Amino acid sequence: MRKINIFDTTLRDGEQSAGINLNFSEKMEVARQLERLGVDIIEAGFPASSKGDFRAVKEIAEAIRNCSVTGLSRSNMKDIDISWDALKGGAEPRLHLFIATSPIHMQYKLQMTPEQVLETAVESVKYAAKKFPIIQFSCEDATRSELPFLAKIVQAVIEVGARVINIPDTVGYTTPKEYGQIFNYLKENVPDIDKVILSAHCHDDLGMAVANSLSAIEHGANQIEGTINGIGERAGNAALEEIAVALHIRNDYYQAKTGLNLQQIKNTSTLVSKLTGVVVPPNKAVVGKNAFAHESGIHQDGVLKEKTTYEIISPELVGVPSNDLVLGKHSGRHAFRNRLEELGYQLSTEEINKLFVAFKELADKKKEITDDDLLSLIYEEKLGS
Ligand code: KIV
Ligand code: ZN
């Protein structure tokens, strides 16, 4: 079975959404949850963009040991040096270099000729390769780029050390069929393409980010980039939880899997929503509050007779509790600890005792304690310590 690497950019592209501004401890909290979820790569920020991003990337790289931590860098020596300082303490330092390759971006944004872009890309990868063991190279606005130029720059950066080639649909313009054809074109026209991992990075401007990412997998991508809940610039990025669950449920079709711990999906989604303030729409696939609710009489009747009549994803698969056990003021320490463990938190007795006091205080004011409330308690406790 093919393994698809999951590259999470919630803390970089996701955090770039209008209105989102996570502080340092919030970023660290998200990174730790992404580690529990089992993503392969965490893009923790853009180190050269601000002191805050530099610190967040550095501390996350040093704290997270089970994922590779990366940071975004423009194709210039200054950005690469700053990124190295931020990432060198990581378990597997990796640089994410990018430059735009579409005529529209090269002419108006970069004001560079294609030859200058090619030379800049090659020189930056060469420079970065002296420091970083792994370099990912992204051709920004790849889906509006001329394919022969795209193939040329991809081959050139592979020759000087790029190990992952990312093909971003920066403005969410492509369609699943077209995106697949770009991957086919590169496989046929880049002599060294088999030496690298191909990656997809899709935006959702036309509502096709997840479909485009899945198409990329069908056409050879072995890495998918996206964010939790699909947050990100404008209409957002591809929602990673949807892709992972689609691969799991339609395994018969895709013959590919991720290494994600799917039971951690729901609470990762809840945490990201809570910290970013971006509400998850109730009808959102996989993590929406109604994703497993059956309302119409015919559907309820069918589900009561046999769940699979109308339920293709079981709620437990993504960490939504299956039973009606509700935590409230009468709940004991055992049920409390259990639910925390289901949410992925293995806490010490001392931590449980502390949280349990806070839980009881809250339960006196509120009839039902939701997972969201529990996550708030944990988070506040950590901030306080
Ligand atoms: O959308 C995009 O092109 C990006 C790149 C910087 C990878 O986020
Ligand atoms: Zn992006």
In this structure, which ligand is nearest to the CA of 142? 1
C-alpha 199/C-alpha 248 separation (Å) is 19
CA 173 to chain CA centroid, Å, is: 20
13 labelled as ligand-binding?
Answer: yes
* Cβ proximity of 28 and 59 under 8 Å: yes
Please check the confidence at residue 230 and state whether its pLDDT lies above 90.
yes
A 10 A CB-CB count for 35 gives 19
The contacts found for 59-64 with CB under 8 angstroms, 24 or more apart, are 59/24, 59/28, 60/11, 60/27, 60/28, 60/31, 61/86, 61/87, 61/88, 61/89, 61/90, 61/91, 61/93, 62/89, 62/90, 63/28, 63/31, 63/32, 64/31, 64/32, 64/35, 64/90, 64/91
Is residue 78 packed enough to be buried (19+ CB in 10 Å), middle (13-18) or exposed (0-12)? Answer: exposed
The model's pLDDT over 119-144, given as tens digits with 9 standing for 90+, comes to: 999 999 999 999 999 999 999 999 99
CA 159 to chain CA centroid, Å, is: 28
C-alpha 68/C-alpha 60 separation (Å) is 10
Which phi and psi (to 5°) does residue 125 adopt? -65, -40
Residue 139 Cα to ligand 1 middle (Å):
8
C-alpha 309/C-alpha 198 separation (Å) is 37
Q: Using CA positions, which residue lies closest to atom 5 of ligand 1? A: 140
Residue 383: per-residue pLDDT: 44
201 labelled as ligand-binding?
Answer: yes
C-alpha 260/C-alpha 245 separation (Å) is 10
The model's pLDDT over 66-118, given as tens digits with 9 standing for 90+, comes to: 999 999 999 999 999 999 999 999 999 999 999 999 999 999 999 999 999 99
- ipTM over 0.90 threshold: yes
CA 91 to chain CA centroid, Å, is: 19
Nearest CA to 185 among 150, 160, 234, 230?
Answer: 150
C-alpha 230/C-alpha 285 separation (Å) is 11
* Cβ proximity of 259 and 6 under 8 Å: yes
Q: What is the mean pLDDT of the chain?
A: 94
Is residue 247 packed enough to be buried (19+ CB in 10 Å), middle (13-18) or exposed (0-12)? Answer: buried
pTM: 0.89
The model's pLDDT over 155-203, given as tens digits with 9 standing for 90+, comes to: 999 999 999 999 999 999 999 999 999 999 999 999 999 999 999 999 9
In this structure, which ligand is nearest to the CA of 73? 1
372 labelled as ligand-binding?
Answer: no
pLDDT band of 371, cuts 50, 70, 90: confident
Nearest-atom number in ligand 1 for the CA of 225 is 7
First to last CA, the chain: 43
Which phi and psi (to 5°) does residue 89 adopt? -85, 5
Residue 170 Cα to ligand 1 middle (Å):
6
Nearest CA to 238 among 41, 14, 5, 28?
Answer: 14
Residue appearing with tokens 């969201």:
372
What average pLDDT does range 292-305 have in this prediction? 77
334 labelled as ligand-binding?
Answer: no
294: left (phi over 0), alpha (psi -120 to 50) or beta: beta
Residue 308 Cα to ligand 1 middle (Å):
39
